[in-house]
Structure 1
């Protein structure tokens, strides 16, 4: 667990979570005209190492996408993650603007993109740690296929996703289309993104990103609806 002064921690929060999304603005610019946001991509393959992919894990069938609604809370029960979600846009550099460092236990959702539960890939980002303690997505790399991600939405419904893939994407070999694009454009998908690898002090960022992919498998409607 890193330690040090508050200024060092502040820089770590800002650069650590955002480096992998620095290309998002350019990727969106190149794909919106040709395919619309979230154009289809193939399965994540290549040099990206799987964190965990147990054999013989039977995954449930995909649920049809549901009406769009903004996320309010994310839970990963198997990891003890339960956090509020706030909408974020792109900053001046073209990265997703994460929650401020004063809010390390809040998750940022790329608001101009897909809403969780709608067709496409919704993007959620969170800090892995601060200079002094773990942050909201500190344990994200321990996620495994078959585990659940629950998103409470602004209409009171809960969209439940099943994790089907956990990948580590090295900074030097990062393909944004394989992270941000849906595996199947007919499905409602989710990406949970945080820092991975080691912290490169010279570069002021982490050497990799952990990306957890999931797809919609169940929904819960508000009582009385």
Structure 2
């Protein structure tokens, strides 16, 4: 059935305007972004098919450009709009976290770090630099590696901490495999960085590992002391 024949309050765009974006399903949200369907398929059916094909909303939005553009109904213009939306979301979270008066919510920090790292196809390591009141100063990805490893250089972490005049920081890295469980190398590296940074009076508050689902806090899991 053509979407124009649906009741007005069931059409994704009208539903969003009347009841807010939170009530829409993943397929309905994607349908709003796509705007139109293809011959024989309305936009909601098109969106549902794309989510099934790629395995979900995140997988679709982070898929290779060639794979997305090979799908009927998704041309270069729509692909560019989807990528712009992703970047707007990341920058919105970036500005939100940097305007925060203090990091009072560990969940908000983990959500922010996930938005910064989860889309990375290879392992990366970053730092969220904080002042003496734990207000964000800057976030940086310092090292990039392969699918399962990134080489970490403590001297560079110390140098960037001094550059930002940080009093504390939160370490983070991603596991592209999706498994957030830290390796022994992760634990040893974190303890080594804590000792090195303590020599310049910079505290390591946590090390967050980003994978599928909720990011893991090494402090909350008892792997390191905060």
Larger Rg: 2
Q: Which structure dedicates a bigger proportion of its chain to strand?
A: 1
- Quickly name the TM-score band, shorter chain normalised: under 0.3
RCO (CA 8 Å, sep 6+): is it higher in 1 or 2? 1
